[in-house]
Amino acid sequence: MLILKMAWRNIGRNRRRTVVTVGAMALGLYAMVVWFGMLQGLLDDMEETVVEVELGDLQIHAPTYLDDPSLYTDLEDFEALLARLEAAGFRASAR
């Protein structure tokens, strides 16, 4: 308890040092919050861009594609499936 009492008194003895220290800590904390906010926004934008441009929210494969991923595995009756998806409001991508 004596240490806390002595520390509390020491804070008031040199006010300029206390203000500079508290200000530096507040500025550092502010910079960290801004930095992590910007980083999180950047990661969210990257994820959104990858989903929109490259992958899409949904991928449709032939039933045997996951067992044997080949470029030559086709969907049966692709045009009918595409028409049903477009009628439901989905956008299609060739990727």
- Name the 3-class secondary structure at 45: helix
Whether this model's pTM surpasses 0.75? no
pLDDT at 69: 77
Is there a contact between 64 and 73 (Cβ–Cβ < 8 Å)? yes
Residue 64 has pLDDT above 90, yes or no: no
Taking residues 34-44, report their average pLDDT. Answer: 97
Residue 21 has pLDDT above 90, yes or no: yes
Range 37-76 burial, b when 16+ CB lie within 10 A, else e:
eeeeeeeeeeeeeeeeeeeeeeeeeeeeeeeeeeeeeeee
